[in-house]
Amino acid sequence: MNKIFTYFFCLLLLATNQLAAQTDSHCGTLLTDEQKVLLLDYAQNGRGFATKSAAQYYVPIYFHFVGDDAGKGFYNSHQLMLDLCELNRQYAAVGFYYYLAGIEYISNSTYFDHDYNGGYDMMRQKNKPNVANVYIVLNPAGNCGYFSPGRNGVAVGKNCMGTGATTLAHEMGHFFSLPHPFDNVTGVQEYVNGTNCAVAGDLFCDTRADFLNTRWNCPYTGNQLDPLGDKYDPDETLFMSYASDHCAHRFSDEQIDAMKYNINTSRINLKGPLQDTMPVQQTAKRIWPPDNAAQKPTESKFMWSSVPGADYYILQVSQISVFPSNLPVDIMTKDTSYIATGLTNGRTYRWRVRPVYAARTCTDFTTDLGVFVTSLTTGIDAAESTEMLVYPNPAAKNSLVTVAFQTEQTGEIKASISTVEGKTISSSLLQKQSDLQYSLSIDGLPAGIYFVELSNGSNTTRHKLMVE
C-alpha cells in the first residue's frame, strides 16, 4: 500500500514539475547559427555603428491575432494597441518606433496552442513580407515567447502580454539579432572581471557576465562563481536577461548599437517611412443602433461615423459596464460597420468604438456609444444604404423619422416622399439635429408604404419606408 502511494505521489510530483517548467519557460529563442553569424558580423564590422546611424527608425510591425478553430480566444485588441504603445516606450532609447503595418485574425487551434512544428508552419503559411511578423497565441511551444530565426517570426503567449510585460520587447530584441546575456556566441564563457567580454558570452562589454538561463527574480542573491572564481552579479535591468518583467527596463548601449547595425544590414527592408506620431483625440459617433434599441442576437448591426485619418476601428461589446479581456465582440476592422452574429438573446449590452492610427496607438476609448438589448423579435429596423440609415422603419403615424449619415453633410438635404405608384406627396428640407443626424416629419401620412428620396444636390438616394 505504501509503495503504491509513493509511486502515485512521485507521479504527481513529476506532473506538477513538468507543468511548472512549462509555464515558467520564459523564452524559447535558441542561439542558432544564423544568429551567431549576425553577431560575429556585428562584432567584426559593426561596433560603434550607432554614432553614424540615424536617430530614429520607423519599423512596420504586423500583428496576427490567433484564436482557436471556433474563432475564440483572440487577444484583446485594445490591450494590444496599448502594448504597442508600451513597446514604443521600451524602445524609445533604441530609436525604433514601431507602427502598425497590418493585422489579421487566424482561427486555427493548431496555431493557437502550438508546439515548435505548429509555430513554424504558422509562420511559413502566414508571414507577410517586409514587416516584423508577431503572432499572439495561447501557447507558443511552452514558452512566454520566442523568435524563430529560420521562420523569421515572433510568437508571444497572450498571458505574457499586457501592461508591465517585457516579453515582446525581449523577443523583438532577438528579432534584431540580440542574444541573451548568458548566451555564449563563440562558445566561450564570459568572465565577471570583463577581460574577455568582446570575444566571449554575448560579445557585449556593457552587459555584465550572466549565467542565469532560467527565470529569476531581482536582485540576484546567489553565490555562483565564474570559471576564475569571481562571484556573478548579473544585470537584472536588461530586457534580454531572464530577470522577472518588473526588473527589466532597458537595452545597453552596445545592444542598441547592434540593433541599429542590424536594421541597416540584414533587416534593411524594415526601414519604414516617417510616421505621423502626434497624438489625436477624435471620437467615432454612433449611427446605429439608436440608444436602447433592440437588435437580433444573431444579426446585431453596428455603424459609426468615419474619423479622418483613422486606419482601423476597434469595436467592443460588453454585457457589463466595464470591458474586460474576454468580450462577446472585440474586433479590429477597417470598416465603419460590423454585424455580430453570436450574441445571447434577452440581454442588455453596451458598445464602444475607438479609432486606431497606425503610429498612434496610445489613445483610449473616449466614451461608450450606448446600450442595446437583444431580442428575437426586434421592434426597430432601418432602411439602409452604406452611407445612411432611415429609422425607425416601420415608423409610427405622425412621428419624426431619423436620417443618420456616416459622414458630416454640407448644405441642405431635400426629402421628397412619394407613394409606391410614384405620386409625390410632400417635399421638404431635413431638419438638422446633430452633425450626423437629421429628422424628417411624416405628419399626416396615412399608414402604408412610401418611398423617401433624399437629395443633397449632387447625390440622390431612395429608401422604402413603412408607416403603420
- Per CB under 5 A, residues contacting Zn ion are 27, 29
Nearer to Zn ion, 168 or 197 (CB): 168
Least gap, CB of 50 to Zn ion (angstroms): 22
Least gap, CB of 28 to Zn ion (angstroms): 8
54 by DSSP, 3-state: which? coil
207 by DSSP, 3-state: which? coil
Contact between 316 and 323 under an 8 Å Cβ cutoff? The reply is yes
Least gap, CB of 60 to Zn ion (angstroms): 22
Q: Which of 168, 161, 153 is nearest to 239 (CA)?
A: 168
Q: Which of 353, 365, 275, 356 is nearest to 312 (CA)?
A: 356
Phi-psi map region of 448: left, alpha, beta (phi>0 left; psi -120 to 50 alpha): left
Count Cβ atoms below 10 Å from residue 304 Cβ, excluding itself: 24
Least gap, CB of 174 to Zn ion (angstroms): 5
Cα separation of 94 and 88, whole Å?
9
Nearer to Zn ion, 103 or 240 (CB): 240
Tell me the residue number closest to Zn ion, measured at CB: 27
Nearer to Zn ion, 27 or 452 (CB): 27
Burial bucket for residue 271 (CB in 10 Å: 0-12, 13-18, 19+): middle
Nearer to Zn ion, 185 or 442 (CB): 185
Least gap, CB of 27 to Zn ion (angstroms): 3
Cα separation of 413 and 431, whole Å?
9
Nearer to Zn ion, 29 or 300 (CB): 29
Nearer to Zn ion, 107 or 213 (CB): 213
Residue 79 CB contacts under 8 Å (≥ 6 apart), including other chains: 161, 162, 163, 325
Least gap, CB of 170 to Zn ion (angstroms): 5
Least gap, CB of 297 to Zn ion (angstroms): 45
60 by DSSP, 3-state: which? strand
Least gap, CB of 294 to Zn ion (angstroms): 51
Strand-by-strand arrangement of the 437-441 sheet: 383-384, 388-391, 400-405, 437-441, 431-432
Count Cβ atoms below 10 Å from residue 32 Cβ, excluding itself: 13
> 368-374 and 348-356: which strand pairing?
antiparallel
Least gap, CB of 109 to Zn ion (angstroms): 26
Nearer to Zn ion, 136 or 144 (CB): 144
47 is written with which cell numbers?
561596433
Nearer to Zn ion, 97 or 147 (CB): 147
Phi-psi map region of 90: left, alpha, beta (phi>0 left; psi -120 to 50 alpha): alpha
Nearer to Zn ion, 27 or 101 (CB): 27
